[in-house]
Amino acid sequence: MNEQQREQLIKMSKYDESDEDIVYYDVIDKRLSGSIVKKAQQLVDHDCIQYVRGIGLFGSKYGFVCLPLNDEEKIFFKGIEFTKLPYERNYNKRSIPYYLFQNNDGMWECNCQGWQTKKKQGLLNNKMPNCKHHLALLKYFKHKHKS
């Protein structure tokens, strides 16, 4: 992803680059349990969040994969080889990445069970991350913005 695409993505996401939103992230972090926040940070630190386009999942043109936190360096998904940093142990038993994409409402949606269950039950909160993959994505945007 080039600089322009990245800027565009950040603009398109609900959580833009204003100072207010950065404070808001911190508010989110404090409200979520420490372990979820730490795990989301580990996902970002190990390059588990990666931009991907054209894999045709859920009708989206592009999205982000959330690679599993495990000791692998390469993960194959939909014919694409992703490289990440190996984690010290296999935290995730599941070896298939999750996928985050913008749905018709412009919300980032995750295909994990947690998100999808909340969706079915009408419990999605559009002011907070609804799963740790989503939180990791927001941390990724924030991190990319800083670097």
Shortest distance, position 114 Cβ to Zn ion, whole Å: 6
Mark 81-120 with x for binding to Zn ion (rule: CB under 5 A) and - for no binding. Answer: -----------------------------x-x--x-----
Using CA atoms, how far residue 5 sits from 45, 69, 143, in Å, is 21, 26, 16
Strand partners, 64: 51, 100
| Cα separation, 133 vs 131, whole angstroms | 5
> Which CB atom, from 118 or from 145, has the smaller least distance to Zn ion?
118
The two structure tokens encoding residue 139: 């941390």
Shortest distance, position 40 Cβ to Zn ion, whole Å: 10
| Cα separation, 139 vs 44, whole angstroms | 7
| Cα separation, 143 vs 107, whole angstroms | 20
Shortest distance, position 39 Cβ to Zn ion, whole Å: 11
Size of the site for Zn ion (CB under 5 A): 5
Mark 123-142 with x for binding to Zn ion (rule: CB under 5 A) and - for no binding. Answer: --------x-x---------
Shortest distance, position 98 Cβ to Zn ion, whole Å: 5
Calculate the CA 49 to chain-centre distance: 6
Residues that bind Zn ion (CB under 5 A): 110, 112, 115, 131, 133
